[in-house]
Amino acid sequence: MAAIIIPKTLKGFRDFLPEAEIARKELVDKAEACFRAYGFVPIDTPALEYAEILLGKGGGETEKQIYRFADNGGRDVALRFDLTVPFARFLAAHRLELPIPFKRYHIAKVWRGENTQAGRYREFSQCDFDIVGTDGLAADFEILLVMREALLAIAGGPVTIKINHRGLFNRFLDTLGVGKQAAEVLRVVDKQAKAGRAETLRALVSVVGEEKAEAICAFAGTRGSFEETLAAMTAAAGGPCPESERLAQLYHSMRGMGIEKNFVLDPSITRGLDYYTGIVFESFLNERPRLGSVCSGGRYDNLVGLYSREPLSGVGASIGIDRLIAGLESLGRIEERRSYAQVGIVIINEKDMWACHGLARAFRQSGVMCEVLPEIAGSRDSKRLVKQYVLAEKMGLEYVLVPGDEPLDDRVDLRYIPDRSTANNISFELAVQICKYPRLRETYLKRG
């Protein structure tokens, strides 16, 4: 006998069984419905690109994590590790074909050969949405609106979006006389939620000295209402400036729409990545704050610099699909759905197969998703019929229909029959008996 190949997957890679894939699709569908309603359009880019394109200036963590190899033609290629870099390349290549400003979303898998501990995967979905080609406040506001709406739809519970403005933080650092160390300071502050205040202070001291480190920690620690925090930040940054005006106008607009309660101005939100230049934001499920941010992003000056001499600014965010699913699972908010069909029909005799499918068609035409169980039961008193009930339960069906010749009795539940006459019209000579299957199964097992 030939040797068997063990059917294993690579470390960090997952199979999605129906229940998990249905949950993932439902989440994605909710996000997509929201993007589309706001006029965002989908794009897709290749999974595989020239390594040079994806690595850009290269170096650092990315280079170590990327799946890179020589293809059969000897090209130096790699799997995309995020959707931002391919989007930048896409914009540089197709700029003239697109309406600018351009509002796109992109939901796709990406690959990183990173350490798989702590629930990290080497293949995972990203869900990005951006508005590029405008540095206007209206785009910032719209991204925040879409984030809020998509997250509320997905989470089914309260969410908080924490925002900050890197430009305002930088002004504060200038006022403090440490503007040149801004990039490093922002990276340290970004890690405060994980590292804790003491460790953050220690790290800052080594960058800017003790006194200024204290001032930075105090600035990042500013709390209060949006207006109070903004006033304190503005004062610390040397008084009113375009960035503080922008935040004030954002708050005015949130209040106008009555959505301000979902937003917090939090100067400790800085985002680690260097390319952000304006507002930055992170989002949290109020019921699971420790989960970390489930949607993050910000405004960038120029996304396409590596591939084009004409800059293109924008603002965008990325929903952490896997993290959200983990959070919703822990909240018991992922519906355990194993099938889209509600009703299953059993075929008793092969010659009546078409009639069962005719009945199923009638159900579908009435908007009820309907499964015909693919095995022939043979008779109404067979073990194979019992097997169909077991199968229906495993599939997660709610009802099983067994064509029968017994009179309809009190076990019958007609609410899924859209029109009794439809059922009769399909030329079954036998009556159609509809039973909520666990009850019927019990009855059957008692009889059997």
The footprint of its own copies on residues 374-413 (CB under 8 A) is: 374-376, 391, 394-395, 397
In the region spanning residues 140 to 199, those forming contacts with its own copies, defined by CB under 8 A, are 141-142, 145
- The answer to whether 130 touches 314, Cβ cutoff 8 Å, is yes
Identify the CA nearest to 369 among candidates 396, 393, 407: 396
Contacts of 59 (CB under 8 A, 6+ apart): none
Of 203-211, 324-332, 353-361, 431-439, the segment contacting its own copies by CB under 8 A is 353-361
* Alpha helices for 291-419 (secondary structure H): 321-330, 353-365, 383-395
Q: Which is nearer to its own copies, 75 or 261 (CB)?
A: 75
Could you say which of 71, 336, 410, 429 contacts its own copies (CB under 8 A)?
71
- In degrees rounded to 5, what are phi and psi of residue 433? -105, 125
CA distance 225 to 236: 16
Q: Minimum Å distance from CB 343 to its own copies?
A: 9
Q: Which is nearer to its own copies, 319 or 392 (CB)?
A: 392
CA distance 426 to 357: 10
Contacts of 228 (CB under 8 A, 6+ apart): none
DSSP 262: G
CA distance 88 to 132: 10
CA distance 185 to 168: 14
Q: Which is nearer to its own copies, 71 or 410 (CB)?
A: 71
Using the rule CB under 8 A, is 249 a contact of its own copies? Answer: yes
Could you say which of 61, 70, 120, 206 contacts its own copies (CB under 8 A)?
70
Contacts of 285 (CB under 8 A, 6+ apart): 155, 157, 158, 159, 291, 294, 324, 327, 331
Of 163-171, 182-190, 332-340, 413-421, the segment contacting its own copies by CB under 8 A is 332-340
Q: Which is nearer to its own copies, 116 or 330 (CB)?
A: 116
Could you say which of 201, 214, 248, 307 contacts its own copies (CB under 8 A)?
307
Q: Which is nearer to its own copies, 239 or 354 (CB)?
A: 354
Of 198-206, 214-222, 279-287, 357-365, the segment contacting its own copies by CB under 8 A is 357-365
Q: Minimum Å distance from CB 104 to its own copies?
A: 7
Could you say which of 369, 383, 424, 439 contacts its own copies (CB under 8 A)?
369
In the stretch 81-100, what mask flags binding to its own copies with x, by CB under 8 A?
Answer: --------xx-xxx--xxxx
Q: Which is nearer to its own copies, 75 or 420 (CB)?
A: 75
Q: Which is nearer to its own copies, 112 or 212 (CB)?
A: 112
Using the rule CB under 8 A, is 15 a contact of its own copies? Answer: yes
**Torsion angle of alpha carbons 30, 34, 39, 45, nearest 10°?**
-40
Residue 102 identity: F
Q: Which is nearer to its own copies, 123 or 214 (CB)?
A: 123
Q: Minimum Å distance from CB 96 to its own copies?
A: 11
Q: Minimum Å distance from CB 361 to its own copies?
A: 7
In the region spanning residues 32 to 61, those forming contacts with its own copies, defined by CB under 8 A, are 36-39, 41-50, 52-53, 56
DSSP 73: T
Q: Which is nearer to its own copies, 10 or 235 (CB)?
A: 10
Cα–Cα–Cα angle for 10, 320, 40, rounded to 5 degrees: 120
Helix (H, G, I), strand (E, B) or coil at 77: strand
Q: How many CB atoms lie within 10 A of CB 50?
A: 13
In the region spanning residues 106 to 145, those forming contacts with its own copies, defined by CB under 8 A, are 109, 111, 113, 123, 131, 134, 136-139, 141-142, 145
Q: Minimum Å distance from CB 185 to its own copies?
A: 26
In the region spanning residues 229 to 248, those forming contacts with its own copies, defined by CB under 8 A, are none
CA distance 276 to 94: 23
